[in-house]
Structure 1
C-alpha cells in the first residue's frame, strides 16, 4: 500500500513539520489566508489617530447570522481569518467611552482580506450609531500582489456562457488563452474546488479537469459561488502550478430557503449557416442542459444545506455518410464490404448511413455547513459526476462503420471536509481533507473484432473495434490533506502549514491489442490479400498488463505577512515541495548490458523521489498616497508545479519487458480472431523503451511581477502589470538510440542528415529519456481599465502582449510523441529555444453589462463579452522524413527565395498533373501572401513562429426578469437568450475562427532523393495555410428559462 511505503518518509517529514511549528511558536507567529475562505482586517482609532487596544469587532454574515468576533491588539489592529466568502456582512465596533460604529454591506472576495478601518468618536460628542456603507474592492486590496482575477457570483449569472463551464469565466483573465494561463501548457495549471484538487492530474483531458474526455464539466455551474484565477500569488499556500491557479468555491445554504429550476437549450434552428461555400444550414442537433438547486436551513443559524442536480444531453449527427453528396465514397462500396464481412466472418460492421453520437452527463452536488460554535465551523460536501461521450468521425474521403466508434465513460466521486477554527483573537486553523475516486474507460461497440482499414481508390473504409479502445482504462484515487495554522502578533501574520496529495493509479492502455490490419483495395480484402498487420501482446502472465503505481507530492511552508502601515504590506515565505515515487518500473537488465559502454548506469527501474524543491517568495503592496488612489504591488519567487502523471506512467509500461509487438508486411491471410493475432507472424525484435533521469525535477519557474493600479476621477481604475517567468526546470525528451548525423543536404537547405542505420542498437526502436532543461522564459505586459457605475453599468477592457519560448511544449501524452513531434531543423536531441505552442502575443478582452429596472415587477439586462486575439501559433514542416532521423513531419521547412532553392518534381493530384513551374508559382504566391513566410525567405521556419489570422468574437446575453410576489418573498421568472459570435450574425465574413491540425502545416512534401542524392519536393497548389472552422465560425443562440424562489 502507498501509505505503508511512505511511512518512513512521512515520519521524517512529520518531524520536520513539528519542528517548524515549534520554531514558529517560539517567535509567537501567526496567520495564513486560504483559497476557500476570505478574511477581514483593519484598525480602530480615535479621531486623533491614536490606536484603541481592546476594541471589540463583530462581523456578522447576514444570510446565515454567522458571527466572527475579535478584539484589537496593542497596535489597535485586528485580523479575522477563515470567513465565509461573499456577504453582505455587517461589521460593528465598540469601545468603552466611544460611540459604536457600524459598516454595512461589506462583501468579501475569495482569497482576499478586506480592509475595514474605524475611527470612533467619544460618546459625549456623538449621538446615535454611526453607519457607513462598505463596498467590495478586488483591485485595491493589501493582499493583492500578483496578477489575479476574481469572478463573482453576479458575473457568473450575468455573462454569456455556452458550455456553462469554468473556462467560460477564466477567459476573463487577460493573461489566459483557452485553457492556457500565462503562456504555459494547460497541464501546468492547478485547479481546486473548495480547496481540493480538481485537476486531471493524469493529464489526458484537453480541458484539464476530470471527465473532460467524456465531454463533461467537473461540477455544475449552479453549484459555484465564486472563481479566482491567480498567476503570481506570493502566498506560499498557493502551489502545484507553474501556469495558473484556478480556485473555485461552492455555494452554501443560508437561513432563507432558496432555489432555482432551470433549463438551457440550442439546436440547428438558432445557429448560423455555413460561412464558406454553399450557405447550408447546420445539420440537426440537440444540446440541452437542465437542473435544479435548493438550499436553506436545517437548524437556523447552525446547520445549512445546499444541493444541486444538473444534467446535459447532447445529440449530434455524424456527417459524410457513404453515398451522400458530401462523401466521395459510393454507397455500393460500403454495402459490398458490410455484406462480405457479415457473410464471411459473421460480424456486423454497424451503421454506414445516418448515425448520431451522444454525450450525456449527470451531476449531483450536496453540501452541509455546520456552525458548531461561534469559533468552529465544519463544511462537508460531495460531488458526483457520471458522464459518457460517443467518439465517431468520418470525412469526405474516409468512412468509418458504426462499430468502429467507441464510448468514453467517466465517473467521479469527490468528498471534501473543511474545518475552520478560531481558538482566540490570535489563533486560527484551517483543515481540509479530501478524497477523489475517478474511473475512466473506453467501451467499444458490437463484438470484439480486429480493426481493418481498406485504402481503396474510392476512399478509405474502416471497420472493426477501434484499435486504441479495446484495452483503455484509467483508475485514479486521490487523497489530500491540508492544514494551516495561523496566529496574529502585532502587525505580523505568520503561517505554518502543509499540503499533501497522495495518488494511486492504474492505467491500462494497449494499442492494437485486437490487431490492426491494412488492405490496399476492396478487391484485396475480398480476396484475402492483406498488406500489413500490427498487433501488441503481453510478455507477462497477465494478458492485459496495466501500469500500476503510487505517488505523492508533499508541501510544507512558513510565511510572515507584515502590515508595516495602512499603506504598506510585505509578504515573505518559504515553501518546500517533495515528490515521492515509492514504486519503481520493472528492471530491464538486457538493456543495461546492451548500453553499458555508452550509457553506464542506464536503468529502467528509476524514478525521481525525495528531492527537496525549495521555493522562497516575496511580495509587497504599497499605496504611496494617503488617499490610496495609487497602488504599487509586485514580488518575486519560485513556483513548483507537477507533471502530468501520464508522463511518468510511460516509464512503467515501456520497459521492454512487458509488451511485445507484431508488425508483418504482406501476411499470409487475415485472422478474424482478435485473441489470436500473434499467429500472423513472428514477433518484432525491436522494442521501445522509456526511461527517466533519476535526478529529474518537477517543473519550476522563477516568476516576478510589478504592477501599478490607479484610480482616476469618476472611479475609473487603470492597471499596468508586467510578469516575467524564467524556466528553472522543464521537460525535454531525447532519443538515446539515435546516432550522430552523417552529413548535410546539398543546396540551400543544408541541414544535417542521418544515415539509414540511424539506431545505435537495432534491437531497439527508440530509447526515450525524459529529462530536464532550464531553457525557456515567458513574459507579458497588460493594461486594463475598469469602471463600475452607480446605475448598474459595469465595464472592463484589457490588452495583453505576451511572448513564450521553450524547447518542448509537451503537447502529447506519450514520451515518443512528445519527442518525435517536437519540430527541429538539425538535431532532435538538441531542440532549440523557440516559440511555445502556448505563445499569447496579442490579446484583448472586455466585458460589460447593464440592467434596466423599471417599475417593481420587471427588469431587463444585457451583458457583453469580447475577445480579440492574434492568431494561434503554427509551425511549417515537411511532409515525410527529410533528415532521416526516423520522425515523420518534425522537420521545419526551409523557405526558398526562388525556384532555384527548391527542387520541385511533377506531381499528380486528383487526376491533375502539375509541373514544377506551376507548383512554384503557387508556392511563391502563398509565401508572398503570408507576412511570416515572406519575412523568413532564405531561412528556416521557426517552431510555432507563424500565426493564424486575428480572431474577434463578441458574445451577448439578454435577460428578462419578471418579479412575482409570494407572501413576503419575491420570486423571479427569468428568460435568457445568449448569442455567441455575434459578428457572424451581422456578416458571414465576421467572427471567423481558424484552425490547423495539431497547429502544424505540412506545407511541402518531401518526394525522396534523386539519382544525385539531392532531395526533391512537391507542393499541392490547392494548399491553404489555415482552414476556416465551419462550425465555430457560425453564430449560435441559446435559450434559457429559469425560475428563482426565495
Structure 2
C-alpha cells in the first residue's frame, strides 16, 4: 500500500490547546526570543524634574491596537513586547500639555528611547514630535542588524526566501548549505547547523541535522533580525548566531497581492560546462522553466481588535543538472544534461486578537510540501548518484502576551510541528509506508560505484519522521534602572527512522570505462574496497530528544548613557544520548550475553551533560549621550545541541551487519558465502558513544563601535572571536598497530568508531558595515568581512570523523568553509516615474580543499586518507607544498605530475539587479512589472560550496582524488546569466 504518512489534525489541536491553556497563570520556564520591540524613556518637566503617574498610550498606526502604561516614581516608562510596526504615542498628565510622538518605527527586537519633556498647560496646548528608528542602537550589546521589509521588497532575490538576504550582513555565508535548504552560516564560521533559526520567537530547526525545518512564503515575512555574535541570555542552543523572523499580521485595511515570477531557458545563458558540451558534442541548450506564483491577503475581522493574514506560494521548476567528469573517455555515457524537476508549495495563515489593552493572542498555521529530484547530482556525480527527497512539513503555533502592570510583561508561546523526510531515486518518486519494504521500494536502491573521477549509484534511503512540541515563556519586570527577564522552556523533538537494506558501495583506485549498465559493470577490475550495511535486513530506530532551558537576565542602566547586560543561562539536553536504552534489550543489542557483547561499552544511566551554564555579559556606552557614538563589548558561553543523526550508529550495531572488505573479489565480495555467514565470522565494525559525551561549547567575545554619520547613516565595526570546542567527531579506537597489516587491540571487533568531543574551531573576524536607511529615494548597505577560521573539524555539516585516529593532527588546518574576504554591497534607488532599481554585488575569495590519496593507507576501511605530506584543507592555502607532495605520491603510482594551473578556485563575483515599475490604479491598487537578472556580467563562478568538508548531500565541488587526472578541478558552475520577469498586482 502506498500512502503519505501524516499526523492527525487532532494532534495539532492538542498541541495548540496546551500552549494556550498553560498561559500566563504560571510562569512556565521558557526561552524568550521574542520578536517585539520596546519604547522606553523618562518623563520630566522643563526643570528636569521627573514626572510620575503620566499616562502613556501607544497606538499601532496599522492595526489600531493600543497599549497603555504609567510612568513610575522615577519618571521611567517602558512599553515592551510591541509587535514590529509604526506607532503613535501620547503622554498625558493633569495640569500639563499633551505630548504626541508620531511615527515611531519599531523593528524586530528594537528598543527605542524617547525621553519626554512636558510643559505646564497654558504655556503650550500640545507638542508633537516625529520619531524614527535610530540607525545607531544605543543600548545594543550584541553584533546584529535587521533586514527590513523595504530590503526584502526592493532587492533581487533568486529564491524568494528572505533568509537569503541574511548574506547582506557581514560574517555570513551559505557555503556547504545543502541544495534547497534555505540555511545560512552565522558568525562562528564553523558549520551550517551552529546557528539558531526562530519564527515569531519559536524554534524552526529539525533535531536530526539542525537545518531549518520549513520555509515560509515570502509574503508572510515582515522582517528579520540577524544576530552574528554574543546574543544575550534569552537566546540559547546556538554556538554562533541567531536569525529571528517576524511574520506579518493583518491591519485595519484589507490589502493583498497576487504575483507570478517566470524564468525560461530563453532568458538564460549557458554556464561554462553546458557551453562546452554544446560546442564539442553538439548538446542542445538545456531546457529550463520556472514558475513561482502565489497570493496573500490580510485585513480586519473586527476593526482595532481582530485581524487576519494569509499567504500561499508555489514554485515549480523544470531544471536540468549537468554531469561533467572531465574524463569523457571513461564516462561519456554518464555525462550530459539531465532533468531535475522540483516543486515547493508553502502556505501560511495567522489571526491576531487584541483582547484588551493589556492582553493579546495570535495563532498561526504554516505548511510546506516539497519534492526535488536529486540532492547533489552534477559535476563528477552521475545523475543517479544521490536521491531526491519528498518533504511534508507543518506547524501550528500560538502566543499570549499579558501586560500584568506598568512594570511587568509576560509572554507565553507554544508550537506543534511535523517534519517528514522521504528520499527516493531520481527515477521513482513513489513514497511508501514508514517501515514498509515492498519489492518496489527495494528495487529503488542501486549499488554505488566510486572512481577517482566519477561516482554512480544510490544504495539506500532511510525515511525519517519527526514531531516536536514546544512551550516557553518569559517574564519581564522593570524596577528603576533594571529590566529583568526570567524564563525557560521545554521542547520535545523525537524522531524515528526506518533503515532499509543497503546494496553496498564499491571503490576503485583507477578510472575505468563505465556507464552503469550490467555490461560495463561486468568489465570492472581491481576494486580496493567494498562496504555494505545490513544486506537483506531492515531496522527501525527511535531517537527521543528533549531540550530544557532556563535563564535570568538583567539590563541595567547605571547612568543614562551606559547599558550593562548581565545574564546566566542553563541548557540541558535529555534522552538524545540513548539514555532510555537498556544494554540487555536484545531487540536493540542482539549480541548481549555473547562473545560480542557490547554492554561493557555502555553506561546509559550516567550519560548526560548537566553542567551547561552559560554566563553572558555585555555593555553599550553612548559616549556623548546623544546616540551618535556607541562603544560596545560582550562575552558569553554558548552550547550547541547534539544532533540526533550522530546517535544513530549505536542503535544499528549487529542489527544490520556492517561489512567492510579491503581488496575484495569482484563481483562477489563474499567469495561465494552468504552475507550473513560472512558477517557472523568476520569481526564487525561497531559505533559507540563516549559515555562522557558533552554538548559542544563556544566562548564568544566581541568589541565594537557604531558611529552615526547622519540621522539615517552609520558605520559599524566589530571584532569577533569565537572559540568552539567539544564538537562530536567519530574516531577509531581500535586501529591496526601497523597501518593496514597490524593486529587490533580488541580482535573481537574490527573498527570501533567512538563519538567523542574532539572537534574545535577558532574563528577571528573583523566585521564592517556601512548602512543608509531609506530616505530621499534611496538606501544602501555595504558589508565587509575579514575572517580566519582554524580547527580540526573535517566537515561543514552535522557529522564527521577523524581522518586518521593515529595521526589526528593531520586534520588541523583552515576551517572547511574558510573564506578570508567577503564584500557584499546592496542598495535600491527610486527613480522618477515610480521606477525602482535594486542591486546586490557579492565578492568572495576562495575556500580550501583536500588532497585525498584514493586508497586506504591506514587500514581503517575508509578511503579518505590524505596524500602523505599533506594535511586537511591545504588546497588554495599552500599550493606549492600541496603539489610537491601530490606529485611525489603520483610518481609512486606511475602518474604524471600536475602544474600549478591544475588547481581551480571557487572565488565568487556576481552582480544581481532588479528593476520594478509601478502603475497606480487608484483606491490603493497598483500593478508592478518586475525584471531581475542574476550574475548580470556573466562571470564564470565555479560551484564548490562544500570546500574541504563536502558530504551529507553537499558535494565538495573539487575532484579530491589525486589518482584522477582532473584532481583539483571543479566540474560545476553557477549560471552565467539568468533573467526573470514578473508581474505583481496589489490592492
Name the TM-score, length of structure 1 as normaliser.
Answer: 0.78
The 5 A counterparts of 1:981-996 are 981-984=935-938, 989=939
Pair 1:429 & 2:410 matched: yes
Q: Determine if contact 2:362/2:398 at 8 Å carries over to the other structure.
A: yes
Once the two structures are superposed, what CA deviation does each residue of 1:671-723 show, in whole Å capped at 9, x if it has no partner?
9xxxx985896656232222222221112111111111112358541211111
Once the two structures are superposed, what CA deviation does each residue of 1:264-306 show, in whole Å capped at 9, x if it has no partner?
1212111123346647674111111110111111111111111
- Name 1:787's counterpart in structure 2: 772
Q: Determine if contact 1:567/1:622 at 8 Å carries over to the other structure.
A: yes
- Name 1:126's counterpart in structure 2: 124
Q: What is the rounded CA distance, in whole Å, between the counterparts of 1:114 and 1:1029 in structure 2?
A: 48
- Name 2:978's counterpart in structure 1: 1036
The offset of 1:428, in angstroms, is 1.2
Q: What is the rounded CA distance, in whole Å, between the counterparts of 1:1033 and 1:135 in structure 2?
A: 41
- Name 1:839's counterpart in structure 2: 818
Q: Determine if contact 1:328/1:396 at 8 Å carries over to the other structure.
A: no
Distance 1:555 1:256, change over 3 A: same
User: Which sits farther off after the overlay, 116-125 or 523-532?
Assistant: 523-532
SS of equivalent to 2:122: helix
Pair 1:1027 & 2:970 matched: yes
Gap regions ≥5 residues in structure 2 = 1-23, 175-183, 429-439, 870-879
The 5 A counterparts of 1:240-389 are 240-275=237-272, 278=276, 282-317=285-320, 356-389=339-372
- Name 2:920's counterpart in structure 1: 963
Q: What is the rounded CA distance, in whole Å, between the counterparts of 1:893 and 1:461 in structure 2?
A: 24
The 5 A counterparts of 1:583-982 are 583-584=580-581, 586=583, 602-603=601-602, 605=604, 608-609=607-608, 611-653=610-652, 655-659=653-657, 661=659, 665-666=664-665, 678=675, 685-712=682-709, 716-740=713-737, 742=738, 754-757=739-742, 759-773=744-758, 775-788=760-773, 790-811=775-796, 813=798, 818-819=800-801, 822=803, 827-829=806-808, 833-854=812-833, 859-894=834-869, 903=888, 919-920=896-897, 922-923=898-899, 925-926=900-901, 948=905, 950-965=907-922, 969-982=923-936
Q: What is the rounded CA distance, in whole Å, between the counterparts of 2:887 and 2:764 in structure 1?
A: 37
The 5 A counterparts of 1:90-129 are 90-127=88-125, 129=126
User: Which sits farther off after the overlay, 547-556 or 507-516?
Assistant: 507-516
The offset of 1:394, in angstroms, is 7.4
Once the two structures are superposed, what CA deviation does each residue of 1:534-559 show, in whole Å capped at 9, x if it has no partner?
654389xxx53121021211000111
Distance 1:500 1:885, change over 3 A: same
Q: What is the rounded CA distance, in whole Å, between the counterparts of 2:226 and 2:248 in structure 1?
A: 18
- Name 1:499's counterpart in structure 2: 489
Q: Determine if contact 1:175/1:780 at 8 Å carries over to the other structure.
A: yes
- Name 2:6's counterpart in structure 1: none
- Name 1:745's counterpart in structure 2: none
Q: What is the rounded CA distance, in whole Å, between the counterparts of 1:900 and 1:412 in structure 2?
A: 48
Q: Determine if contact 1:261/1:292 at 8 Å carries over to the other structure.
A: yes
Q: What is the rounded CA distance, in whole Å, between the counterparts of 1:611 and 1:387 in structure 2?
A: 38
Q: What is the rounded CA distance, in whole Å, between the counterparts of 1:577 and 1:1029 in structure 2?
A: 42
- Name 1:548's counterpart in structure 2: 542
- Name 1:232's counterpart in structure 2: 229
SS of equivalent to 1:952: strand
Distance 1:974 1:734, change over 3 A: same
Gap regions ≥5 residues in structure 1 = 1-17, 25-30, 212-217, 335-351, 743-753, 909-914, 931-946, 1006-1018
Q: What is the rounded CA distance, in whole Å, between the counterparts of 2:521 and 2:638 in structure 1?
A: 60
- Name 2:185's counterpart in structure 1: 180
Q: What is the rounded CA distance, in whole Å, between the counterparts of 2:944 and 2:151 in structure 1?
A: 29
SS of equivalent to 1:169: helix
Q: What is the rounded CA distance, in whole Å, between the counterparts of 2:145 and 2:835 in structure 1?
A: 27
- Name 1:573's counterpart in structure 2: 567
Q: What is the rounded CA distance, in whole Å, between the counterparts of 1:701 and 1:146 in structure 2?
A: 16
The 5 A counterparts of 1:404-423 are 406-423=387-404
Once the two structures are superposed, what CA deviation does each residue of 1:841-898 show, in whole Å capped at 9, x if it has no partner?
21111111111244xxxx0001111211111222234332345554323325536699
SS of equivalent to 2:849: strand
The 5 A counterparts of 1:184-195 are 184-195=190-201
Q: Determine if contact 1:651/1:692 at 8 Å carries over to the other structure.
A: yes
The offset of 1:419, in angstroms, is 0.4
Q: What is the rounded CA distance, in whole Å, between the counterparts of 2:170 and 2:831 in structure 1?
A: 28
Q: What is the rounded CA distance, in whole Å, between the counterparts of 2:698 and 2:378 in structure 1?
A: 43
The 5 A counterparts of 1:457-606 are 466-469=458-461, 472-510=462-500, 512=502, 536-537=533-534, 544-581=538-575, 582-584=579-581, 586=583, 602-603=601-602, 605=604
Q: What is the rounded CA distance, in whole Å, between the counterparts of 2:250 and 2:884 in structure 1?
A: 72
Distance 1:668 1:499, change over 3 A: closer
Q: Determine if contact 2:379/2:972 at 8 Å carries over to the other structure.
A: no
- Name 1:936's counterpart in structure 2: none
Name the count of aligned residue pairs. 900
Q: Determine if contact 2:377/2:386 at 8 Å carries over to the other structure.
A: no
Q: What is the rounded CA distance, in whole Å, between the counterparts of 1:700 and 1:682 in structure 2?
A: 39
- Name 1:200's counterpart in structure 2: 206
The structure showing larger relative contact order (alpha-carbon pairs under 8 Å, at least 6 residues apart) is: 2
Q: Determine if contact 2:143/2:227 at 8 Å carries over to the other structure.
A: yes
Distance 1:701 1:905, change over 3 A: closer
The offset of 1:1002, in angstroms, is 6.2
Q: What is the rounded CA distance, in whole Å, between the counterparts of 2:386 and 2:940 in structure 1?
A: 35
Distance 1:758 1:145, change over 3 A: farther
Pair 1:73 & 2:91 matched: no
Distance 1:808 1:399, change over 3 A: closer
Q: What is the rounded CA distance, in whole Å, between the counterparts of 2:487 and 2:970 in structure 1?
A: 51
Q: Determine if contact 1:559/1:573 at 8 Å carries over to the other structure.
A: yes
Distance 1:606 1:590, change over 3 A: farther
Q: What is the rounded CA distance, in whole Å, between the counterparts of 2:770 and 2:69 in structure 1?
A: 36
Q: Determine if contact 2:650/2:688 at 8 Å carries over to the other structure.
A: yes
Distance 1:724 1:901, change over 3 A: closer
The offset of 1:652, in angstroms, is 2.4
Distance 1:702 1:667, change over 3 A: closer
Q: Determine if contact 1:222/1:293 at 8 Å carries over to the other structure.
A: yes
Q: What is the rounded CA distance, in whole Å, between the counterparts of 1:434 and 1:869 in structure 2?
A: 38
The offset of 1:527, in angstroms, is 8.4
Q: What is the rounded CA distance, in whole Å, between the counterparts of 2:810 and 2:380 in structure 1?
A: 36
- Name 1:146's counterpart in structure 2: 142
Q: What is the rounded CA distance, in whole Å, between the counterparts of 1:977 and 1:901 in structure 2?
A: 48
Q: What is the rounded CA distance, in whole Å, between the counterparts of 1:528 and 1:139 in structure 2?
A: 69
Q: Determine if contact 1:75/1:491 at 8 Å carries over to the other structure.
A: no
For residue 164 of structure 1, the aligned residue among 153, 160, 164 is 160
The offset of 1:450, in angstroms, is 7.7
Which structure's CA Rg is the greater one? 1
Q: Determine if contact 1:793/1:850 at 8 Å carries over to the other structure.
A: yes
The offset of 1:250, in angstroms, is 0.8
The offset of 1:950, in angstroms, is 3.4
Q: What is the rounded CA distance, in whole Å, between the counterparts of 1:647 and 1:101 in structure 2?
A: 59
SS of equivalent to 2:801: helix
